[in-house]
Amino acid sequence: MLEIAPAKLADALGDKQQAATLIERAKRILAASPPPAPSPVTPVRPVGRAAGRKTPKKKP
């Protein structure tokens, strides 16, 4: 919204006041601090048999 001319945005929306409000909201959103980084993902333990364990093979 910030890359378009306010007059073109007003034409598209049909209202100059609404265009000005949207531009101000977009500026406030961009000026806000970035969201916090996501917390590290903990690995999920597999269900069922433990990974890496194999059934012992029978010797002939």
What SS3 string covers the chain? CCCCCHHHHHHHHCCHHHHHHHHHHHHHHHHCCCCCCCCCCCCCCCCCCCCCCCCCCCCC
Delimit the domains of the chain by residue range: 1-33
- The whole-model pTM stands at 0.49
% pLDDT > 90, the chain: 2
Res. 51: pLDDT tops 60: no
Burial of 19 (0-12, 13-18, 19+ CB in 10 A): buried
Position 1 scores a pLDDT of 57
